[in-house]
């Protein structure tokens, strides 16, 4: 009696196709991580290929090791998105590989807020209104169009007197909207692109029926 064990040809093919897709994602993620962590701390091509080929092996252990405080720190520094459970297993392996180096990276919000004397974004990169009007305490919708998929972060600081927390948006869509409170002050937008360029602009909120100094 004869036979053979192991994966069938279709299963092998599916595994290789999935590994190829994961490898492409890991290369992209390494490009992003290199800006903050540095090339010297990232795995080489052979290691990335191994991360991809391993598929979902030991996934539960990886999730447990990264979720909680570590994942919160990764997200605050712009090194991870969503949740640990939502990430692919090869990406979890990559983040596990670099976790020892994340503490030297400044949180994204601090980087964006700490940058001074930034120019306004050119129209070919970003377009939205600069003045909104309404009655307090209404919220105004601000529609925007982004001219490139390389917008990495959008920090929305509401008017100061509104006493609301800022909103940090990772990888905003090509177009959409956000809401800001109307109180007569200005909301501040700070934008950071994949290549590290940063811009800042203000959106003035005006209250109907109230004269305001210009």
60 occurs within a structural domain: yes
2 occurs within a structural domain: no
Give, for 155, the enclosing helix (H) or strand (E).
strand 151-157
What phi and psi, each to the nearest 5 degrees, are found at residue 199? -140, 160
Question: Mean pLDDT lowest for which of 36-50, 77-91, 98-112, 200-214?
Answer: 200-214
Q: pTM for this structure? A: 0.72
Task: Give the integer Cα–Cα distance in Å for 60 and 52.
Answer: 16
Q: Are residues 81 and 117 in the same domain?
A: no
Task: Determine the pLDDT at residue 2.
Answer: 46
The total domain count for the chain is 2
- pLDDT tens digits for range 48-72: 999 999 999 999 999 999 999 999 9
In this model, does residue 118 exceed pLDDT 60? Answer: yes
Q: Are residues 18 and 94 in the same domain?
A: yes
**Contact between 113 and 155 (Cβ < 8 Å):** yes
Q: Are residues 26 and 97 in the same domain?
A: yes
First to last CA, the chain: 92
73 occurs within a structural domain: yes
1 occurs within a structural domain: no
Domain that includes residue 162, residue range = 112-207
Residue 136: pLDDT band with limits 50, 70, 90: confident
In this model, does residue 124 exceed pLDDT 80? Answer: yes
Of 86, 105, 124, which marks where a domain is finished?
105
Percent of the chain with pLDDT over 90: 71
Distances (CA, A) of 169 to 75, 149, 157, 181: 11, 14, 11, 17
């Amino acid at each position: 009696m004869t036979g053979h064990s192991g994966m069938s040809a279709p299963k092998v093919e599916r595994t290789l196709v999935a590994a190829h897709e994961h490898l492409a994602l890991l290369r992209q993620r390494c490009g992003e991580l290199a800006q903050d962590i540095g090339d010297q701390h990232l795995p080489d091509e052979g290691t990335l290929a191994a991360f991809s080929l391993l598929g979902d092996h030991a996934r539960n252990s990886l999730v447990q090791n990264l979720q909680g405080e570590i994942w919160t720190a990764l997200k605050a520094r712009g090194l991870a998105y969503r949740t640990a459970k939502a990430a692919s297993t090869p990406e979890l392996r990559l983040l596990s590989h670099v976790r020892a180096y994340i503490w030297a990276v400044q949180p994204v919000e601090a980087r964006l807020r700490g940058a001074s004397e930034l120019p306004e974004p050119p129209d070919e990169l970003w377009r939205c209104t600069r003045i909104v009007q309404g009655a307090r305490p209404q919220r105004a919708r601000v529609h925007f169009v982004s001219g490139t998929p390389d917008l990495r972060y959008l920090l929305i600081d509401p008017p100061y007197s509104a006493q609301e927390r800022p909103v940090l948006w990772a990888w905003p869509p090509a177009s959409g909207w956000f809401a800001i409170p109307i109180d007569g002050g200005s909301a501040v937008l700070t934008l950071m692109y994949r290549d590290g360029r940063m811009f800042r602009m203000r959106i003035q909120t005006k209250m109907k029926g109230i004269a305001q100094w210009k």
